[in-house]
Amino acid sequence: MSARRLSAVRGAWVIASREIVVKLRDKAFLGSTLFMLVLVAVGTAIPVLLAQSVPELRVAVEGDGARAAVRQAAVLGAEVQKDTPTVPASLAVLGDGGLPPANLSLVELEPGTDVYRLVRDGDVDAAVVGQDVDSLRILGAQGVPTEISSLVRAASATLQVEQAAAEGGLSPQEVAALTAPAVPTVTLLDARPSGSVPPELLVLVFAFLFYLSVLTFGMSIAQSVVEEKQSRVVELLVAAMPVRRLLAGKVIGNTVMAVGQIVVILGTGLLGARLVGQGELVSQVLAASGWFIAFFLLGFVMLACLWAVAGSLATRTEELQATTVVMQVFVIVPFFAAIFALDPGQTQTWLSYVPFTAPLLMPARVVLGNAAAWEPFVSAGIVLGTAVLFVLLGARLYEGSVLHTQSRLHARQAWQSWRDERRGATR
């Protein structure tokens, strides 16, 4: 490796290291990252905690039928908490109906107890009264917990079926034949990936992360450039190294931080899912995140140079809103286009090859299972080719505008300034 080549690499790395160190000391960046980590941790833990939370409910009973129904309901509530619940044959014809898990405690009443007052005072969560299982009443104060009403109704149905079978002289085998008939099998012609979370939700999460990171780090790059112009630090940097090395360092440093932030966030979510026993979710996300990270890297590099150009066209921080409008459109419009094109179809297929929407839609097609094995590579090649063109264009516009500190420039003026400098250098 020549000295000049080594100097170029070292120069770009010095700028990249500076960008990384500044970002690591930025309270806004650290705060936003911490906030996102907390969101991921909470989002991972809450569904599991809610799923594992089994309500403890007290049910008062009055009458033999009520007593039998609540006891059967308690059995059903405990049964559905098992990994492989068993639905009674007498209930199979009705289906388990997604019976809720619950621990029901039967409260026997002393003779003369006012059951209505007991319910109104909140001493019990509900009461079931009735001598016969086919004429039960469920009493609640302002409402009856869903777990109690669902389980008691299922238990009542179970007992009534068993009672009718006994009166009809049916054997347990005959009851099972009547209540558990053979059901049709389901065959999917275009099966889609399944997992502990819907694939569409994974796509939305990945799209949101891409949108948020590109917009956040892109604005950070633009702001860094204009601040260096305002403070005249850029003149010192350009005196020490070529403008293109300065631009390369900024792009490399922010790309490292953006990818690092995404990896940390995904890693935190996967670790949390693993700790709470969601191994299937971990496998599902790992299988989907490979192409997402690859396209995120390509898409970020494709736009990073243009974000730097947007910053170099301004001379003051207040002008960034005007100079970054086009870049915000390049991020926001593809994001919403990708969201509205989540349903498989011709539109989604075509947009997955457009450079601005491909970083979102091609990984989405991989996750949804409607992309051929060769398609992600072709799409990645298109995004990479576009990134190369944008890097070359951005480098020229950046070179023609970064030292201009008099007034805000337009892209056409920056291009003309670059051409004038080249012409002057060749004379």
Q: Which domains does the chain have, with CATH numbers?
A: 9-47+197-426 (no CATH), 54-179 (3.40.190)
DSSP state for residue 201 in the 8-state scheme: H
Q: Do residues 256 and 16 lie in contact, with contact meaning Cβ atoms separated by under 8 Å?
A: yes
The model carries a pTM of 0.63
- The pLDDT assigned to 30 comes to 86
Q: How far apart are CA 15 and CA 101, in angstroms?
A: 58
Q: What is the Rg, in whole angstroms, of the alpha carbon atoms belonging to the chain?
A: 32
Q: How far apart are CA 362 and CA 8, in angstroms?
A: 35
Tens digit of each residue's pLDDT (9 = 90 or more) over 126-183: 999 988 888 899 999 888 888 888 889 888 888 887 777 777 777 766 666 666 555 5
For residue 307, report the phi and psi dihedrals to the nearest 5 degrees. Answer: -65, -40
Tens digit of each residue's pLDDT (9 = 90 or more) over 173-215: 666 666 655 556 555 555 555 555 556 666 777 778 788 888 8
Q: How far apart are CA 341 and CA 361, in angstroms?
A: 8
Structure token digits, residue 353: 């090859």
Q: Is the pLDDT of residue 18 over 80?
A: yes
Which residue carries 């059967």 as its tokens?
72
- CA-to-CA separations, 357 to 310, 328, 335, in angstroms, rounded: 21, 14, 7
- The pLDDT assigned to 292 comes to 83
Structure token digits, residue 151: 């389980």
Q: Do residues 381 and 361 lie in contact, with contact meaning Cβ atoms separated by under 8 Å?
A: no
- A 10 A CB-CB count for 155 gives 27
**273-293 as b/e: b if 16+ CB within 10 A:** beebebeebbebbeebbebbe
